[in-house]
Amino acid sequence: MFNPHPFDDPLAINRPELSEDVNNKKQKSKAGVLLIASPRFKNPGTGLPKGTYGERKAGDVEGIICSLNSFNDIDPAMFKLIGLRAGFYHPLFNENISVLVPEADIGAGLITYMLKLISGKHVNFIEPFHIEAAYGAFASGHAGPNDHNDPDFIQNVLIARDVRFAKTGYKYAGAPFAWYRISPGRKTMAQLVECNGKYKLICTLVDSLEGKHLLATYSHSIFKPLVPVTELFEQILKTGTTQHFALVDGEYLTELSILAEIMDFEYYEIS
């Protein structure tokens, strides 16, 4: 059975810090998946905001060179603690061949992590917003941290005010975030979900269209699938997934089909 935990004992979710027990085991395991659903780290005089420091610490575990950090960035308790919704993606995650995903979605986080390992590239995290049927396209993206560190597309990143969060009463409501227009080009879009004890891997190819920043507070793009857009979402609904998908430059359907066979995942390719 697929076990996402790299250690002998599963890591607890929502632990405030890594225990001595886990810190000892990390020396024995040089690669694996570290699941942190809602990290809360104190700022030990670094000068970094607690949210930024917590994100960095989540991916900075000595001895672990690969990790998945599934970050509950919409937890009201976290908003009260640090006063803002995290909106930057620390370069350390890419340096450690790691990923950070929002909303504590471990399934979508796992496929993001897998595409990172397969491709070695920057992987984005999206959910469909709405269909532009007249253009055969759909708008998609996500709020919160999203990998905006691709050096070839620095021009696609704007530092903007989180106008949606600004409407709240939290201490740093409306704090800036990295507003990213996801890079243009052919992408692999994939999802991994658990259903009745089995895992389903759903994937397809889409083209991210070049353009200006359109959707405030969300890293985003407009995408045109290789199949008719209505057919794409009909197939997704029939297969059954959550709303979150991983997105990476290039075509990796063959690699994902091989991975699904190795891992005994149910494989659904929409093409």
- 89 within domain boundaries: yes
Token pair for 247: 């997105």
- 162 within domain boundaries: yes
CA distance 260 to 243: 20
Q: How much of the chain is in helix, strand and coil states, percent to nearest 5?
A: 30, 25, 45
Buried b (16+ CB within 10 A) or exposed e, 219-251: bbbbbebebebeebbebbeeeebeebbbbbbee
The contacts of residue 176 (CB under 8 Å, 6+ apart) are 87, 159, 160, 161, 162
CA atoms within 13 A on the CB side of 179: 17
Overall number of domains in the chain? 1
- 62 within domain boundaries: yes
- 187 within domain boundaries: yes
Buried b (16+ CB within 10 A) or exposed e, 166-199: eebebebbbbebbbbbbbbeebbbbbbbeeeeeb
Instruction: Compute φ and ψ for 31, nearest 5 degrees.
Output: -155, 145
CA distance 75 to 180: 23
Residues of the domain holding 145? 20-270
- 13 within domain boundaries: no
Decide if 68 contacts 6 (C-beta within 8 A): no
Per-residue model confidence (pLDDT) at position 105 = 87
Mean pLDDT of the chain: 80
Decide if 173 contacts 165 (C-beta within 8 A): yes
Q: Report residue 65 CA to chain centroid gap.
A: 18
Strand pairing category for 68-70 and 99-101:
parallel
- 2 within domain boundaries: no
Token pair for 208: 């991210």
- 10 within domain boundaries: no
The domain that holds 139 is classified in CATH as 3.20.14
Q: What tens-digit pLDDT sequence spans the chain (271 residues)?
A: 233 332 233 222 233 333 333 333 333 333 333 333 333 333 334 343 444 444 555 545 544 445 677 677 777 888 888 888 889 999 988 988 889 998 888 899 999 999 999 999 999 999 999 999 999 999 999 998 999 999 999 999 999 999 988 999 999 988 999 999 999 999 999 999 998 899 999 999 999 999 999 999 999 999 999 999 999 999 999 999 889 999 999 999 999 999 999 999 999 999 9
C-alpha distance across the termini of the chain, in Å: 29
Count H helices and E strands in the chain, helices first: 7, 11
- 102 within domain boundaries: yes
**Which amino acid is located at 161 in the chain?**
R
